Amino acid sequence: MDEYHRGEVVLVRFPFTNLQTTKLRPAVILALHGEDVIVVDIFSTVPTFRKDTWLLLEQHHPHFPQTGLKRTSIVKAEKLTILHQSVIHSKIGSFHPSLMTTLGQLVKQAGLDPLIWTIYKSNLAMVEDDLHEDRGCSIKCEGQNQARML
């Protein structure tokens, strides 16, 4: 298995809501824990209206070529996904440290920073135990409502 790092841009097979088909999409790695990663989704369709928590990556930005993206894109800080490294198709680039700093601030602004560090690092073992014991709950921690956003 490849070794991944915070700030790397990767291609991931994301499932559609029917769970029958997938689409290869770019995402940036925000955090790692064992063989799991938290990624932030990247979208190539740039709407005219943008939220304050979205990071616009324009092709003419000096750090854009390093990302490996092909066109101007949007990183939606509230679109976090926890996944196993095995669903990562490939690495295509990386974010410059200044872009990662900005993204971290946007994740915090979106109110998801406590979710990442509280649930993911502190409670992952409890979540896995609950799932294995089939108690009918997917997350047993203080951020239960926020966790559904993943």
The CATH number assigned to the domain holding 44 equals 2.30.30.110
What is the per-residue pLDDT across 15-55, written as a single tens digit (0 to 9) for each?
777 778 888 999 999 988 888 888 999 999 988 888 989 99
Enter the pTM of the model: 0.74
pLDDT of 118 = 52
Whether 142 maps to a domain, the answer reads no
Range of the domain at 16: 8-110
Q: How many structural domains does the chain have?
A: 1
pLDDT band at 1 (very low <50, low <70, confident <90, very high): low
CA distance 78 to 110: 6
CA distance 94 to 85: 16
Whether 114 shows a pLDDT value over 60: the answer reads no
- Closest to 71 (Cα-Cα) out of 92, 51, 97, 45: 45
